[in-house]
Structure 1
Amino acid sequence: MFKENVILASSSPRRIDMMRQHGIQPIIMPADVDETIPEGAGMADAVMYLALKKALFVEEKVLSSDHNNPVIVAADTVVYSDKIIGKPKNRQDAYDILWDLKGKSHFVATGVCLLQAGTSIRHCFCEVTKVFFKDFTTQELNAYLDTPEPYDKAGAYAIQGEFGRYVDHIEGDLDNVIGFPWKRIEKEAEKLFK
């Protein structure tokens, strides 16, 4: 497993914290890429495509600097329920997304790309978790939308935050819903970087 010379292609506080909790002090290098998903892409292909795009963007920056073949970790998360749902555009969009998901289940997919700059090591995978929401009222939803929490999250909610009280249960990895399936990342990295 990699421990040093790791670049995280994200400024997500949740992803940064998770790496640090596991003893990795990554170099933070957010990838500034167009996150438009190719038309017709399914949930898994969409997140792996965006994770790879972010990793390649950072690799290009790294190869023109003095970093010594670092491992780049990039990820992208979407919510899926009949269609791919990214981050909300505004309050009304966040309201519509969450109101549509209430009392039902949906999927959270995170695509991860592990890449060693300047080598042929490039590995992408997708982890999927099923999330079940409880019912909630208009008043409860509006109170949640008054907080800053929903606006930078795929699906307009944070399971580890205020909205957790409206999650009935999940099937799969909680870390994946937070946006970084750590157990799977470790498993894949151990195979790649022995």
Structure 2
Amino acid sequence: MTPSSEQPQFILASSSPRRRELLASLGIHYTIIKPDIDETQHADETPLAYVKRLSQEKARAVAEKLSDEATILAADTIVILAADTIGIEETGELLGKPLDADDARATLKRLRGRDHLVITAFSLLKTGPDAASYTEAVQTKVTMRDYSDEAIEAYIASGDPFDKAGSYAIQNEAFHPVDHIDGSMTNVIGLPLDEVKQALIEMGIL
């Protein structure tokens, strides 16, 4: 999509097709610039601090490439599994994108029939004379269904798990891995639309 000529350009700092679709649903014209940052988690950095920092660094990395005024939206999504099945907390184990089929299989078996937490942090960075920034982390509790080993194998064979934190897509209709959620559906997909829209309104962008 191309930026509007009537206002500073809007940039999505992500190559995720899911975030592109969600942002487009707000009727925003945008261009895409993929940020290039080191996504290594710092020592003693909590998952919540980590995901917020990544969204901020992605926005700043794109801003450094620009000479014209712009509004940049960056986001990062993490999946957290608690150490036990009783409670979910922001300091649990991070489950990233799977390295291979074996990693995806192990992750999906660990998630099966359990609760986990999905956190998406998004950052808005407005450059120029009216520069402003905003970061928010949105949490959704996800309860997975008790899917079979056969369902896991079919899902892995489809290739869908390999670019997704936690090795699954909530919107996958064939696998339908989730039993129910407590919170935002779009947050689990990769961009909490209600919260992003409210932030854009408050910043005078929508």
TM more than 0.5: yes
Partner Cα distance (1:107, 1:23) in 2: 29
Report whether the alignment pairs 1:19 with 2:23.
Answer: yes
Q: Which of these residues, 114, 117, 127, is aligned with residue 117 of structure 1? A: 127
Query: What runs of 5+ residues in structure 1 fail to find an aligned partner?
Result: none
TM alignment of 1:65-76, pairs within 5 A: 67=68, 69-76=69-76
Query: What runs of 5+ residues in structure 2 fail to find an aligned partner?
Result: 83-92
Report whether the alignment pairs 1:154 with 2:158.
Answer: no
- In structure 2, the partner of 1:94 is 104
Q: Which of these residues, 5, 15, 30, is aligned with residue 34 of structure 2? A: 30
Q: 2:179 is paired with a residue of what secondary structure?
A: strand
- Point out 4+ residue stretches in structure 1 off by more than 6 angstroms: none
Query: Which deviates more from structure 2 when the two are superposed, residues 153-162 or residues 33-42?
Result: 33-42
- In structure 2, the partner of 1:42 is 46
Q: What whole-Å deviation, never above 9, does each CA across 1:123-155 have from its counterpart, x for those lacking one? A: 111000000011122111111100121100111
1:42 Cα deviation from its structure 2 partner? 2.0
1:163 Cα deviation from its structure 2 partner? 6.1
Q: 1:123 is paired with a residue of what secondary structure?
A: strand
8 Å contact from structure 2 (residues 77, 165) kept in 1: yes
8 Å contact from structure 2 (residues 168, 177) kept in 1: no
1:190 Cα deviation from its structure 2 partner? 1.5
Q: What whole-Å deviation, never above 9, does each CA across 1:8-61 have from its counterpart, x for those lacking one? A: 000111111111121112110011211112122222211110001100100000
- In structure 1, the partner of 2:87 is none
Q: TM-score, normalised by structure 1?
A: 0.91
Q: Percent identity?
A: 37
8 Å contact from structure 2 (residues 112, 145) kept in 1: yes
- In structure 2, the partner of 1:53 is 57
Q: Counterpart of 1:81 in structure 2: which amino acid?
A: L
Q: 2:137 is paired with a residue of what secondary structure?
A: strand
Q: What whole-Å deviation, never above 9, does each CA across 1:71-109 have from its counterpart, x for those lacking one? A: 000000010003011211111111111111101000000
- In structure 2, the partner of 1:128 is 139
1:180 Cα deviation from its structure 2 partner? 0.3
Report the CA distance shift for 1:163/1:34 in structure 2 as closer, same or farther (over 3 A): farther
Report the CA distance shift for 1:111/1:163 in structure 2 as closer, same or farther (over 3 A): farther
Q: 2:73 is paired with a residue of what secondary structure?
A: strand
The CA RMSD over aligned residues, in Å, is 1.6
Partner Cα distance (2:147, 2:80) in 1: 20
From the two aligned structures, give the one with the greater helix fraction.
1
1:120 Cα deviation from its structure 2 partner? 4.0
